[in-house]
Amino acid sequence: MAHYTNHLMLLFLATISFFSSTFSKDASSINVLSFGAKPNGKFDSTTSFLKAWSNACKSKESATFYVPKGNFLIKQVTFEGPCSNNIKFRIDGTIVAPSDYRSHGNSGMWIMFRNLNGFSVQGGTFDGKGDSYWRCRKSGSSCPAGARSITFSSCNDVKVSGLTSLNSQAMHIAVDHCKNILFKNVKIDAPSTSPNTDGFNVILSTGVTVSQAIISTGDDCIALSQGNTNVWIEHITCGPGHGISIGSLGAYKNEAGVHNVTVTDSIFEGTQNGVRIKSWAQPSNGYASNIVFRNLTMKNANNPIIIDQNYCPGDKSCPHQSSGVKISKVSYEHIRGTSACPQAINLDCSKSNPCEGIKLQDIDLVYGEGSTTSTCNNVGGINSGVVIPKSCVSLHSLNEK
Ligand SMILES: *[C@@H]1O[C@H](CO)[C@@H](O)[C@H](O)[C@H]1NC(C)=O
Ligand SMILES: *[C@@H]1O[C@H](CO)[C@@H](O)[C@H](O)[C@H]1NC(C)=O
């Protein structure tokens, strides 16, 4: 009898938990299953998601847009605001892109969140199914624009946590024109051979925080391009990937500068670069200033510390020109570990706009059994503490040819 009661009790509890997860008691919780979405990975749930979104967005009380466990096939879609409440997007399942890469057309987008104020995304896996698109790129045939997996455009006060992005066709997470956006505990995974699959790509945004991300991909783990201010990046594990990059800057004659960026407490493992600032070798009014790289560990990273102001791929459109981008007040503090090449520090600044206020402090970068070197062109700044390799930065190195 006791046995039987236990079973009944279990069944009762299981039923309760089934009902509370499927039809949350919270009246303003909007479950995509109620709008016809199917968790079988085959049924196109795009229209159901949009209907659910429209309901959640209209709600006067704060609404939860809920995606339960399972695989949901979703085509190119925009979750457009503004909404009447601070929507919470809670995802226990996986959002899957169509396996035919042509499905996104030439939009360059898969999932987009736009014009939203006060908004959060919790959990969820986004599987971009990028491999057939990368194969198209490699075969050299004409392919559509690669779709970025998740875009946040014109957003204020956004919190994204516990999200995973897999195998994006192009960038994984793109942020543009956002203010106060926090990413916490995000995981990004694509092969090292996948082209242009930046982990995060941020432009024209302010108050951007990325905390505790694990990023393995085929391009930059994080790329900050023009017009980003007040950016905080901490506890990142990057690799494989191209490192954390400010740039490319100076792509345009007229562009907004990058100001007040901190990258701290992070690890770079087998990356093509560690921390890089990169600008096109051509006229521009762009700039990068007040940048701090602190407490970073390099594990067999190529180019652990690099400034490249002579970027001009294929020597097309800008050969023998000089970058107009001004780089100033950049601090490298407490950076140690192993470099995959002897040249551990390479600061190649603009002839016409030399780097100023570069600081190297407590650096210890080694290369196998051999020693490491540093190279400077047009750099002015100071050293502090022990710097290995021997620093090429000095007040008078500014004028050295
Ligand atoms: C720099 O950005 C951080 C956030 O990353 C912010 O807390 C700080 O106030 C900013 N500093 C200035 C001087 O604006
Ligand atoms: C440096 O960063 C590591 C993570 O890479 C962290 O565990 C450690 O506490 C940090 N050290 C300091 C002095 O902040």
pLDDT value at position 266?
98
Nearest CA to ligand 2 atom 10: 265
Q: How far is the CA of 141 from the centre of ligand 1 (A)?
A: 46
- Which residues, given as ranges, of the chain have pLDDT below 50? 1-2, 4-5, 10, 12-25, 398-401
- pLDDT given at position 394: 80
Q: Ligand 1 pocket check: which of 202, 222, 246, 260 to mutate, most ligand atoms within 8 Å of Cβ?
A: 260
What CATH number should be reported for the domain holding residue 271?
2.160.20.10
- Please check whether residue 172 is in contact with residue 150, taking contact to mean a CB–CB distance below 8 angstroms: yes
Please state the domain count of the chain: 1
Q: What is the pLDDT of residues 234-246, one digit of tens each?
A: 999 999 999 999 9
Alpha-carbon dihedral sign for residues 221, 257, 209, 111: negative
- Alpha-carbon distance 201 to 208, whole Å? 11
- Domain that includes residue 286, residue range: 74-388
pLDDT value of residue 172 = 98
| Ligand 2 site, residue 265, Cβ cutoff 6 A | yes
User: How far away, in angstroms, is 360 Cα from ligand 1 center?
Assistant: 21
Q: Is residue 32 part of a domain?
A: no
- Domain annotation covers residue 220: yes
Q: Is there an atom of ligand 1 within 6 Å of 232 CB?
A: yes
| DSSP for residue 22 | H
- Partners of residue 238 on adjacent β-strands: 215, 268
Torsion of CA 196, 197, 200, 201, to 10 degrees: 20
Within-domain flag for 39: no
Q: Is residue 82 part of a domain?
A: yes
Active site residue 334: no
Catalytic residue among 242, 259, 320, 396: 242
Output the pTM of the full model. Answer: 0.92
Minimal-distance CA residue to ligand 1 atom 10: 230
Whole-number pLDDT of residue 19: 44
Q: What residues does 182 pair with on adjacent strands? A: 159, 209
Ligand 1 atom, smallest distance to 260 CA: 1
CA-proximal residue: ligand 1, atom 9 (nearest): 230
Q: Is 394 within the bounds of a domain?
A: no
